[in-house]
Every structure is written in C-alpha cells, then in structure tokens.
Amino acid sequence: MLKKPLSFIAYLTILIILGLAVRHYAINPIYDNPANSKAQISSAPLFTTPLTNIQGAQQNLSQYKGKIIVLNFWATWCPPCREEMPELSELQLEYKNRNVVVLGIAEDELPLVKEYLQSSPVTYPIFIAENEGMNLGADLGNDKGVLPYTVIIGADGRVIDTFYGRISKPLLEKSLLNLLPQ
C-alpha cells in the first residue's frame, strides 16, 4: 500500500525536474548551446581598443575591418604560444593575398616582446596589450583566461571560431576554407 504513494511521488518529482530543465533550456539557449555562443560574441571591441604596436606607437585596429582575421593572444612566457608562432607565420605568408591577416596580441610587456621577437621573428603584426589584452580576450570569448587563445573573425566582422590552447595551421585552414571565395 505504501508503494503506490511512493511511486507516484517519484514520478511527480521526475516530471518536475524535467519541466524545470526544459524551462531552463528554453529561456537560456545562448548560454547552453555552444553553437550559438560564437554568434553572440561581438568583434567590435577589437576595432575600438587602441593597442601598442611593436614600435611603441598606439594603433587602431579598424584598419583591418573587411579582412578575415586570425587573432592570436599570446605571451613570451607561454611555451604553447611560442610553439604555434611559426605556423601562424606560414599561414600569414600563404594567405595574405586572399584577404586574410594574422594578428598577434601579446599579453606581455613591450621590452620582453621585442627581445623575444629578435630571436624568433614573425611575418605578421604584433600588438602589445598587457592588462587590457585580458579584457579584450574576454570580450572576444576567452571566458577561461587561457593562453594561447585564437579567434577567427570573418570579413563581415562576425566571430566564426574560437580556440583555447595551442592551434595548428591545418586546424586554422579548416575554419578559413569556409570563408574564402573558391
């Protein structure tokens, strides 16, 4: 006799939990569906945040609007960041005539970046953004504060892809091929 009320309570509890789960996902689809989250990231902060170039001059990145951007956040003290830089240089050389630009944003101090680049030069523009680089990265989807962090921005300004950790040229090319005219 006690089994019937207990099984009814168990079924009722399961229905309530399922109802709350459905309600949660219906109300918050952007946060729970990773496919939707990239569509909600705005690239506007990239074009409005003045950054310091390697010569120490402030520069506005709006000059890169209309290009496909491979934006890589890195630091001199980060081994995976340094490991991927030769592949990013190759990508820049191979795709520069196809409306693609690779940009590096160092979350580091200018003297350290200059010193590092003297021993390991790259073929793409590097910008310095010590503390503001973390904020810019977060604005562009780096909610984990991880380095390296790479963002692919389409020519229309939409964030197409984001990558936490070390990337490779083939991985980036997979994202770029969908953006390039055939």
Indicate if 16 and 89 belong to the same structural domain.
no
Indicate if 50 and 113 belong to the same structural domain.
yes
More confident residue, 166 or 26: 166
46 is a domain residue: yes
80 is a domain residue: yes
In this prediction the pTM is 0.78
Question: For residue 150, what are its two tokens?
Answer: 């790479």
Residue 145 · residue 134 · CB < 8 Å: yes
Indicate if 57 and 7 belong to the same structural domain.
no
Average pLDDT over residues 33-58: 79
Q: Which domain holds residue 28?
A: 3-32
Q: How many domains does the chain have?
A: 2
159 is a domain residue: yes
- Using pLDDT thresholds of 50, 70 and 90, give the confidence band for residue 178: confident
Please check the confidence at residue 2 and state whether its pLDDT lies above 60.
no
Q: Put the strands of the sheet holding 51-53 in their side by side order.
A: 58-59, 51-53, 126-128, 100-106, 68-74, 149-153, 159-164
Indicate if 165 and 89 belong to the same structural domain.
yes
Average pLDDT over residues 144-162: 94
Angle at 102 between CA 157 and CA 170, to 5 degrees: 100
DSSP annotation string for 94-116: HHGGGTEEEEEEE-S-HHHHHHH
> b vs e for 11-35, b when ≥16 Cβ sit within 10 Å of the residue's Cβ?
eeeeeeeeeeeeeeeeeeeeeeeee
